[in-house]
Chains A and B, each alone.
Chain A
C-alpha cells in the first residue's frame, strides 16, 4: 500500500474499524515508514484534542425532561398505548382459570379493585411509578412446599437518609465506601467532592490517591486530583502524579497532573518532564513541560 492509502485509513484504524488484515498492513507500514509514523502521531494528537470539546452537563435538564414527559404521557388520549394496555390486561386476565366454586361477584370485585388501583391517576391515590419507590427487591430463590405454599427468598434494600458532619467517622466511612462504588461514577464524584477537604486524614488521602490511579472515570480522577492539590509536595502524592502524567489516557487529567506536579520545583520531576517531551501528544502539556525544563535549566531531551 502507498503512503497516501495508509494515511486515508488512519481514522478507521484509530477507531478499530479496519479488518485485522488491513490492521496488520498498516502496522507493518508504520514500522517501516517514518513519514507515516509522524503523520499518524499528528492524527492521534488531533483525535485527542477532540476531547476538549467540553461535556455538557445535562443533569438538571434531565430531571425536568422526565417530569414533562410524564405529564405528556398522562395527557395522551385513551386509545393510544394506555388503552391498548388495558385491553391487553383484560385479555390476559380472561386466560386465568377461575374455579367455579369461587363466587363470580367476588372475582368481579377483586378485578375492579385491581384495575382501579392500577389505572387510577396518581392524584386520586393511584399507584405511583415503580422507580419512585425507595425500596428495591430481588427474588433470590423460590421453593414450593407440599402444602401448596411457596417460600420466596427476597433480598430487600431499604433506602434511608443519613445526615451528619463531615468530620464524623461514620459519615467519613460511608463516603469512603461510596468512593469505591463501582456502579455509580456520579456517587463517586460526589463523595470525593465531599471528602476532598478532609485529605489531612491518611485514609482519605489514600482513597484519593487510589481514585486518581485506578478509577475508570476521568471525571472522578479529576475530582480526586483537586483533593490532592494541597498535598502536591507529599512524596507519595508526587509519585502518583508522575504516574498519571505519563500513563493516564485522558489529556485533561494529564494536564491537571502536570499543573499540580509543577507547583513544587524539585529535581525529581526533571526525568518525568523529559519523558513527557518524548511521549506526550498533547501540545499544551508538551509546551508546559518544555517551559518548566527551561526554567529549571534542564535539557529538554534525554541523551
Chain B
C-alpha cells in the first residue's frame, strides 16, 4: 500500500482523496504549496510570528473547507484566495494598531527582526553591503507605506510573478481593478525609492 501511496498522483485525484478524509493526501497537498504560502506570508508581513499564524490559519481553513472545493477554479487560486485573505486581515489589523511589527526597540536602537532572517549574501566589500542594506531598507519602508491591498497585489505580481488575471481571481476582483492597484503601488514605490535612482 505504501508503494501505491508513494506513486505520483494527479492533483485532482489528490484533492478528491483528501476530500474523503485521507490525511496522507492532505499532507501531500499541503507540502506541494506550503513553502510558497509561507514565503508569501513572510514577505508580506515581514514577521515570522505572523507568518506562522497565517500558515496555521490558512491551512486549517483549507482542511475544514476542502469538502466545499468544487473544482470551479484551480486549487492554487482557491488556496491563495484563502491565504491572501488571511494576510490582508493581518495587514489591516496592523494598520489599525499602527504597529511596526518587525521593528523592536533594543538598547542599541531599533532592530528589524525580519532583516535578521534575510539570507546571508556572499561576502563582499563593505561599501556594497552598505548600499544594499540601505536599498533593502528603503524597499521595505516603501512597501510598508502601501495600502494592504496595493501591497498584496504588488507582492503577487512583482515578487511572486503571478499574472494580473490570476491576482484578480485570487482577490475576488477584476483584472482591471488589479491593474489599477498595481499602477498605484508602482507609482508610490518609485516615488519612495527615487533617491536610489
Contact = CB atoms under 8 A, between A and B. Distances in A.
Contacts of A268: none
A152 to B, nearest CB: 9
A72 B56 CA distance: 8
Interface string A43-66: 101110110111111100110111
Given A58-B38, A80-B63, A130-B5, A252 B43 contact: no
Contacts of B139: 49-50, 52-53
Chain B interface, >50% SS class: helix
A250 to B, nearest CB: 12
Interface residues of B, number: 69
B44 to A, nearest CB: 11
B64 A50 contact: no
Given A92-B20, A137-B3, A131 B52 contact: no
Contacts of B27: 70, 129-131
B172 interface: no
B103 interface: no
Given A11-B186, A52-B132, A259-B124, A138 B21 contact: no
B56 A69 contact: yes
Contacts of B197: 42, 45-46, 283
Contact of A72 (B60, B118, B131): B60
Nearest to A55: B119
Given A50-B189, A53-B136, A81 B63 contact: yes
Interface residues of A, number: 65
Contact of B2 (A57, A130, A225): A130
B24 A84 contact: no
Interface stretch (B28-36, B79-87, B91-99): B28-36
A154 B42 CA distance: 40
A85 B22 contact: yes
A154 B4 CA distance: 10
B125 interface: yes
Interface of A: 8, 11-12, 15, 17, 42-43, 45-47, 49-50, 52-58, 61-62, 64-66, 68-70, 72-73, 76, 80-89, 92, 127, 129-131, 133, 135-139, 154, 156, 219, 222-223, 225-226, 252, 255-256, 259, 283-284, 288
- 9 A-B pairs with least C-beta separation: A85-B21, A137-B3, A54-B118, A88-B20, A130-B24, A53-B139, A11-B186, A52-B135, A65-B55
Interface of B: 2-8, 18-24, 26-28, 30-31, 34-35, 38-39, 42-43, 46, 48, 51-52, 55-56, 59-60, 63-64, 66-67, 114-115, 117-119, 121-125, 128, 131-132, 135-136, 139-140, 143, 157-159, 163-164, 179, 182-183, 186, 189-190, 193, 196-197
